[in-house]
Every structure is written in structure tokens, then in C-alpha cells.
Homo-oligomer: A and B are copies of this chain.
Amino acid sequence: MTSATPARPPGRPRSGVNAAVFAATLSTVHELGYAPATVDRIAAAAGVAKTTIYRRWPSKGALVVDCLLDAFGPVPLEGAGRAEVMSSALRWIAAKIGEPGVGDAFAGVFSDAVSDPALREILSTRLQDPYRIALQEALGEPEDRVLFFIDVVVGTLLHRMGMTGEPMVEADVAALAEMVLSYFGDDPGPA
């Protein structure tokens, strides 16, 4: 088997600009917000033609969601009991959202998803699947209850960031996690 690379398709291969486009998207949305981060600006920041972006992503929303998924990465689901899994996942999500570029970009995209049905569709199909449903299965809770508590954390973080324009302070994140976990029933356990 010499086909380690699965039979490269003919024609000119794509240049490796995906990383540059992602970086430009993240920083632009981070600095300007979702709406003012126009595709022209992102393309210029990435040193890429606008048409190239639309050849790889069908819309601005799809580009930004892909960029966030790339920056966010998979949520680790570790721990013995429900409370432990919940605790580590919540704290991981909170920490990730608190990172300089990621959180602000996330806030802008979540925001636009509320008023834009098309982007809402992209988000619910591409974001709910990997994270929310994985959490739901790992926790073994009824769907509504799990989604509700995840929303408490994510929604509060993003809303607060949107209103103040800055990430929440660490004390508030810790208080929020503690509040949710105490209501969740079990104690977080060690480590």
C-alpha cells in the first residue's frame, strides 16, 4: 500500500492559507465584533482574495463558525462521577472562553446567531453536536436539564462579555461554576 496519501486529486493543490484565514478571522472578529468584521477585511488581513474565501466556505457565518471550532477544540470529558465530569467540562469551557481572542469572537458569533436564523442553523448543527450532546451523553442526564446548565455558564459568560465588552473577571467565573455545581447536587470531588 503506497497510498498513505489517499490519491491526491488532479489539478493545482490548495495553498495552505486556511490557518492564515482562521487567524485573520479570529483577530478581526475579536477586534471589531462580528458585523463590522467584513469578509473584505478578513481577506485583506489574511493576504487572500475574497473569492478564495468564498471558494472554501459557503458563507461568512460558516467561516467564522469553522474558525471558532478550530480555535476551541474538543471539550475534554474526564472524571469519575457526573459531578466530576460536569465540573471539569464547565471549568474548561469557562477557561477557553476567557482566552483573549476566542471568547470575544465567540460572543460576537453567538450574538449574531440569535437574530440570524441562517447562522443559528449553522451553530446548532455544528456546535451542539460535538459539545452539548457529548456532554449530555457523558453526564447521562435528561437533555433539557443538561442543556440548561450549560446555557447557564456559556450564556452568562457571553452575555456579560457582550454587555461590558470585556471578559468576566476570574472571581465571577469561579462563583458561577460553584453556583451551578452546588445546584447540580453532587460535590465536585478532589482534583
- CB pair B151 A114 closer than 8 Å: no
Which chain B positions have C-beta within 8 A of A175? 148, 183
How many copies of the shown chain assemble into the complex? 2
Question: Is chain A's interface secondary structure helix, strand, loop, or mixed overall?
Answer: helix
Interface flags, A107-144, vs B, CB<8A=1, else 0: 11011111111001001100010000000000000001
Q: Is the CB of B155 within 8 A of A172?
A: no
Question: Do the beta carbons of A159 and B169 come within 8 Å of each other?
Answer: no
**Set B144, B158, B179: member contacting A172, Cβ < 8 A:** B144
What 1/0 flags go to A61-83 for Cβ under 8 Å of B?
A: 00000000000000000000000
Q: Which residues of chain A in 154-191 are interfacial with respect to chain B, using CB atoms and an 8 Å cutoff? A: 154-163, 165, 168-169, 172, 175-176, 178-180, 182-183
Q: Known A36-B117, A114-B161; judge A151-B144 contact (CB<8 A).
A: no
The answer to whether A33 has its CB under 8 Å from any CB of chain B is yes
User: Is A152 in the interface zone, CB < 8 Å from B?
Assistant: yes
Q: Please state if B110 and A112 are interface contacts (CB–CB under 8 Å).
A: no
The CA-CA distance from A111 to B160 in the complex, in Å, is: 12
Q: Are B169 and A144 in contact (CB under 8 A)?
A: yes
The answer on a CB contact under 8 Å between B120 and A114 is: no
Enumerate chain A interface residues (CB-CB to B < 8 A).
33-36, 107-108, 110-117, 120, 123-124, 128, 144, 147-148, 151-152, 154-163, 165, 168-169, 172, 175-176, 178-180, 182-183
